[in-house]
Amino acid sequence: MKRRTFLATSVAAAAATVTGVSQMRIFGFGTDARASSEGNFEVTRTEAEWRAMLSPQQYAVLREEATERAFTSPLNDEKRKGVFHCAGCDLPAYSSETKFDSGTGWPSFWESLPDAVGTKSDRSFFMVRTEVHCRRCGGHFGHVFDDGPPPTGKRHCINGVSLTFRPAAAA
């Protein structure tokens, strides 16, 4: 085999591998790294228990850190007053009072409820981001960015399938 052919084939194989891993992560076809490596949460379940209680898309996002497609969540257009809860453990996580239309295609909030979320560094896709998750069950919500509105300047860009919405009681 000529050196040029070998190098071209090696580069193509490496690119295909990286693309495949990225697509697996985006669409939730990876390993359940969170469930196997992070068991320090109040609410813990086996992989089978999580799969039984969550839809396949919720499982991919909450347990495998996948991302739902933009503009697909009904919660993106939710305008009523109420509270958004973790779909994995029902912890109240975000108030409708802090929700705003970021134009990104995912529900966005400028602040979480007190003691509702945790964060960690996410070094996927050749960048460093701040991942946000449920502090009680560790379910992946999305990421936090520094391009949000006042008063915090933060944008919690959240996968809608990771949340459920409970409207406020009518007065």
Describe the strand order of the beta sheet including 129-134 as a list of residue ranges: 99-100, 108-109, 155-158, 140-145, 129-134, 117-122
Closest CA to 142 of 127, 132, 154, 128: 132
Other C-beta atoms within 10 Å of 22: how many? 13
Residue 157 is among the residues annotated as catalytic for this protein: yes
Q: If you search the block for the tokens 């959240």, which residue do you land on?
A: 158
Catalytic residue among 86, 89, 137, 157: 157
Contact status, residue 117 vs residue 141, Cβ threshold 8 Å: yes
Catalytic residues: 157
